Structure 1
Amino acid sequence: MKQATTLKSALGLLVLTISLASCGGTPRTTPDPGQTAGTPTGPATTAVVGPSGGTLTSSDGKVRLTVPAGALSADTTLSVQPITVTAPHGKVAYRLSPATVTFAKPAELTLTSAAAQPLSTAGPTAENRSVGSLIAQQDQAGRWQANMGTVQDAATHSLKTTLRGFGDFAWADAIQLSPESATVQTGGSVALVVKTCVNDLPIDPNGSLDQMLAPLRDTCAPSKLNPLASGWAVNGVPGGTYGTGVVKKLDGTEARAQFLAPLSVPAPNPVAVSVNWGKGSSALTLVSSITVKDEEQPSCTQQNAPDRWTGTTTASMVVNGLHETMKANVSFQRDDVDPATPDLCDYHVENGTVTWSLSDTVGDCTYSAGPLTLPIGAQDGRLQIDTGTTPASYSGSGGTSGSATVKVTCPDQSVSYQTVVGIGGWLTIPADRTWTVSADGKSFSGEYSQAENRWTWAFTRVK
């Protein structure tokens, strides 16, 4: 599969001041309100670039401006500075200064976002990537205008565009293949749609995307540019096969398709349903991961979720103003499956221990206790694996209580007192976030922070 997929770029500051109406479309009657300008979040990086050209790179290495020879008539101090993100669906944002600079020849702007997911590939072992990204610039009215001709490079996780002037730029995840993932019974179907987070109604899908701008919007809706959605495939095979499932593009103005699952579970499973978005070499590949299940096969089986998980957890917490640390070694065993929720696999503690200690200084006094090792009871922790998602997702929690002696040492005296230790957070995996099991289903790990508290965990399946 190609490592780079592109949306061909040609964007300049002068072009950014042109409305979509000038591109031949119908102007919006109720334009989205402008966003406030971002505020600096780090120092500016400067470079002096003259008639012979040069480069400007941000201190974090995520922004690179390449100025060709002849673009500037005299030595000019250019700067780049990270700013807060105000663009809808934005990931990172930067300010290029001075705003008055004008290039006689287009300069190339490259944004690289470590926060963005790997860019799309397609095939049985693809990194299932359902989101496409664009570079946007904020106009004088405060509206963020997305460049529909952004070049997206999967190999470097970067976006590129050309420009003739400066301003505020952002990386925006503005194209989506929905659903990102799905589960379907053998012989069933899944409706697929490409959504855009821009106002694409005025855009002519038969015209060039070069220098084509569209205002970013907070909500994403089915794209009206059906001609730009082409090459629907399953595991990289156009149209798919009866063995893996077939995908058919639907007629109409919206970019929609339907996936028809095979009559038996395919191998490998899930399958990657992909679509090319754009034109020719400028097309971006979007991928949806679809799991096919046999109607008679229960979800919570050893194949999908093991009988046991074993692993370790750590926690660093501030309780009553004092720092506590915990480390647990614990195994979870699966409960009987509730027929009402066959996709949810619940686990209780099979066995384990947690070691707790306290060490802190408050004023002139030091507080210390432990290390104290306590057994973890069967009801002290819970784990839940949801096999209805692809990959499977999970959540969990755990807490154990015991008694410990805390020693307080001050310059004038030392005292000790007995207290009940509520080790209520040796495992905290909040359910309001999505945590996923590894693609092979053999392990899961993660970390979570809340204020001064931090938890980590790592578990592997036991056959």
Structure 2
Amino acid sequence: MKNLFSPLLGIMLSLLLFSCNTDPGTVDPTPKPPTGAVTPIGQPEGNALTATIGPAGGTIKSADNRIQIAIPAGALSTNQTISVQPIGNNCPGGKGQAFRLEPHGITFAKPAFITFQYSEADANGSSPALLRVAYQNDKGTWQMPAVKSIDTTAHTVTVQTSHFSDWGLFQKLFIYPANSFLNPGDNLHLRVFQTVKSEDDDLFVPLPTLVSTKYIEKWSLAGEGTLAHQHNQGDYYAPARIPALNPAAITVFLNISTTIEGKVYKDLRLVTNVFVAPEGISVQINGGEWKTYPGGANINTTHNVVLGQNGTEYASVGWKGTPTGTFRWTKSADVAFNIVKGPLIYQHLYGSEPSVSGGFLKVDNSDETWAVGTFTVEPAGWINTSPPAKMGTASIKGVFRMKRVSQVQ
């Protein structure tokens, strides 16, 4: 699902850097009431679903189950055609698909419940306890009703409403960017932002601003590279070589808690992952030098393939199943690895039997542009078909960072 506001948000965040006080810990002694950001109306993305709901109440969900609207008995006096239209999410800090609930202008005698199902990607760079729901009013401004509940087991955020509008999920605090992909030796600038600053009902949602440093306890890095930070900003410097641990995780620990319906959420932290690898499939054989094979990724619902080429050599991994997950090598081609160096072939099988190699393939396809992953083949089998044919085993590590085929120019 596309977030149509992402390019606008990036521009806004860049502009904010020039307008922020040079001392990010300074607090205005006479703060002004926040005003909501006016954003474009979300454009339709896909087909609307409809249902007839009357005085007895009822429930309607989006086709992907991301949003559910539960209208209680007595909320409506007559039968109404209720529709759920997927739209672009233009809320500041917005994540994932938003929805237009119609008819606009309808009011309920009893509050209806709106529940968003959030994904791991929605919480990236933030925390599930910091996800909120907002609606866009007729002036184009976003407002946040009080959260009724957050269920971190069912991955849902619920609010109540007496009316319909355009609704979206957003992050109250977040680290930007949430996930990144770097070449070895590159660096990345990080910032910690906030939108709303309290939990008042129907609070306007402003453009994100750098969070006050009093809310930041510390920064930490798990993985290779170095991290330099001050207040609400930091810089990550990737190692010069592909690291053994990929991705590196940068965590910002917060000095705040949030209370929702009497439940206190403490130990809040923001995490961003940085995957370090050149574009392509990179392979290391027996602890030697890494070799990279540029190429592309074909991610689909049947057989996913990542294929790269370096001169006359080819490297590939393929798997059947979900685009994201951890997979073990199989005797068939369902989960497979190959390098072809002329007559020399490395694969996920070894011996004359053959036996299936140990190790695994771990893939993350949550990004819209990049397919990334790591793999080990231990032992990998090799065969040299040049007479006289020989075979043996090797230890292989690999990473890949590939653009999806639809993204390749």
TM-score (norm 2): 0.50
Structure 1 or 2, whichever has the larger Rg, is 1
